[in-house]
Structure 1
Amino acid sequence: MKTKRTPKKAWEVFPGKNTFYCDGRFLTANDKTVLCITSTLITMTTALFIFNDYRATLKDQAYGIYMLACSLLLYSFVMLMLFRTSFCDPGIIPRASSSQSAQVERQLIDADVRKNGYSGYKPPPRVQEIEINGVTMKQKYCFTCKIFRPPRSSHCSICDNCVDRFDHHCPWVGNCIGRRNYRYFYLFLASLSCLCLLIFSCSLMNLLILSKEKHNGEILAALQESWPSAFEIFVSFFSIW
């Protein structure tokens, strides 16, 4: 009796440097440590803001509850977009199988024979021209993936993949930024900037009020008393850039 073979899924034989989870629904790159640092900094800064600056300055204000709700909503959205960007497929272009790459090489050799009149092994050319809607486009050959990459795509040396509409590999999110996660990366940056501005302004206001009420306007004395505010200002200021 013949046993029925279950065909393997693409991620099970994937030769890149990504690690897959949940039956291939999520992936991570090799630089997961930086992602942990990013999420820890965001969480720590927001927690210090709530338990230090909010309780000291904004809790008794009429608009304090709105500032708390706004900071919690922003933090939740930032973390959601961070993980959405980090764990989703950025637009990986499948590699050619051994039979497909051999067929491409044979086609290139045959075309070279018809054009130049001689045969023999010749590495595939770096560029191939195609026409899309009447416009001539150039495709570069990837010797690692054995494919002609579509326009605006590139090979990431860190993940060892060709990514469609490759922008860059961001170590802070631990993934490539490409066609399928660029919108989430942009929303992550926009929401993180808003959260940093909120924390920076409220922490600075807390220090000014503290120095005026307890230390006769001395900022250094206020910084020594409220060191979490100094930490929040430092992290949020450099995170904005």
Structure 2
Amino acid sequence: MARQTGILYFTISLILVTVALFFGFECRLTLVTHLPYGYFIPIACGLLFLFNMGCLLRTAWSDPGIIPRSTPEEAAYLERCLQDQQARDENTREYRPPPRTLDITINGTPMKLKYCFTCKIFRPPRASHCSMCDNCVENFDHHCPWVGNCVGRRNYRYFFLFVTSLTLLCLFIFSFSVTHIILLSGLQGGFLEALKISPGRYPFMLICFFSIWSVIG
């Protein structure tokens, strides 16, 4: 994980509380007892929840593709090359930093590699240095504070599965929460009476509603 875990534990708590409220109110009151094959609802929700948490933890606990820093021998060799270059330059007496780019050819295609002054390496294409993790990450996408880690080459698939499964989980819980309100309104003879019986739906219905749009986006 990154040195700064961000709000990963808040993310885990938010998902846990939302699913727990769904099991404690919606499934217990009407969904399992009044719908045909309603017992499949908590089973499907539980499996989706376990898959989602697995993808979240795998994203947070995986190496995103950190590129090793240069060894002391490599850094010393580069320093000697720079000093030799500086000695040959008669027009300056100041210290010159390493060149910021390096032109190479890969499979006949010219590439320009950028130099990282922190890791003392020339980064491969699509790599970038994360200021939060203080590492160069291969195929760097972004640093996600919600999972407390960078998203890069080695954990991008798990991050994508996490976002996808979280979207399905939010849609699943929100849809059956609306179904629960409709069923309970018919049983209690009114919408307001149904809301009085099961007040626990308010927080997680709002969480799911707003999470659907942010996660899909």
Deviations 1:161-214 (A, max 9, x none): 110000001011110000000000001111111111000101122123333432
Contact 1:31 1:174 (8 Å CA) reproduced: yes
Pick aligned residue for 2:8 from 35, 47, 50: 35
1:21-170 matches, cutoff 5 A: 28-32=1-5, 34-60=7-33, 61-108=35-82, 110=84, 121-170=95-144
Cα contact 1:108–1:124 (8 A) shared by 2: yes
Q: Which one scores higher on RCO, CA 8 angstroms, separation ≥ 6?
A: 2
1:22 aligns with none
**Deviation readout 1:127-166 (Å, 9 max, x if unpaired):** 1111100001111111111111111010111111110000
AA in 1 matched with 2:167: S
> 98-107 or 135-144, which moves further after superposition?
98-107
2:136 and 2:180 mapped to 1: Cα distance? 48
Taking every aligned residue pair, what percent have the same amino acid on both sides?
50
Match of 2:190 in 1: 216
Please report the TM-score for the alignment, with normalisation by the length of structure 2.
0.88
CA distance in 1, matches of 2:157, 2:82: 37
5+ residue gaps, structure 1: 1-27
**How many angstroms apart in 1 are the aligned matches of 2:190 and 2:42?**
29
Alpha-carbon distance between aligned partners in 1 of 2:186 and 2:74, rounded to the nearest angstrom: 73
Q: TM-score, normalised by structure 1?
A: 0.80
Q: Would you say the 8 A contact 2:6–2:145 is kept in 1? A: no
After the TM superposition, which of the residue ranges 56-65 and 129-138 deviates more from structure 2?
Answer: 56-65
Task: Note if contact 1:90-1:163 (Cα within 8 Å) is conserved in structure 2.
Answer: yes
Match of 1:9 in 2: none
- Structure 1 pair 33–148 and aligned structure 2 pair: CA distance change class (3 A): closer
The 2-side partners of 1:33 and 1:119 are apart by 45
| Distance apart, 1:104 and its partner CA | 2.1
CA deviation map 1:209-241 (0-9, x unaligned) = 3334325234xx544442221212111122222
Partner of 2:209: 237
Indicate if the aligned counterparts of 2:6 and 2:147 stay in contact, CA closer than 8 A.
no
Deviations 1:34-85 (A, max 9, x none): 1111111111111111121011121122221221211010000011111100
In structure 2, the CA distance between the partners of 1:76 and 1:29, relative to structure 1 (3 Å rule), is same
> Among 151, 165, 183, which residue is 1:191 paired with?
165
Q: Which amino acid aligns with 1:165?
A: N
Q: Which among 211, 215, 226 is matched to residue 198 of structure 2? A: 226
1:207–1:229 contact (8 Å) kept in structure 2: no
- Give the SS at the match of 2:191: coil
RMSD value, Cα: 2.2
